[in-house]
Amino acid sequence: MTFTCTVCKQSVQTPDNGFTTGYGLDRRNRKVCYPCCGERDKADMRRTGRATLYLTKKDKEHVLTNWPGTLNIEPYHVRIGHHNIARVRYDVWFTFESQEWHGVTYGDNTQLCHCRRKA
């Protein structure tokens, strides 16, 4: 099956693996290809100074990524600390487009990392 990306107007073949759709949806439920999802996430980071990303490990190194994996940022520092409810807290510091950012993930049962641009 193919679809036309709302943003780049490219015709994209959806994967036939049963695990993913091959596209994201915008606020109007229009299909957006994964590379355009990454570009939209970057634009949103620039505009709002906030992002909800995923803190994952790739080859024993931490990586911040968006849902489809088309935005990848390597933090320059990760600190693992304690949290009174979630038991563990991950603080990450990274640079995005020459600006400093900080993100926090609470607990080991999630990868969601709440990120903000430093003032």
Q: Whose structure tokens read 């570009």?
A: 39
Query: Residue 35 carries which DSSP code?
Result: H
Average pLDDT over residues 73-91: 95
Average pLDDT over residues 59-86: 94
- Indicate the pTM of the whole model: 0.85
Q: Which two tokens stand for residue 102?
A: 């900080």
pLDDT over 70 (residue 18): no
Average pLDDT over residues 81-102: 95
Q: Give Cα separations from 25 to 20, 28, 52, 68, 73 (angstroms).
A: 13, 7, 17, 12, 23
List the domain boundaries for the chain.
2-117
In the predicted model, what is the mean pLDDT of the chain? 93
How would residue 48 be classed by pLDDT, with cut points 50, 70 and 90? very high
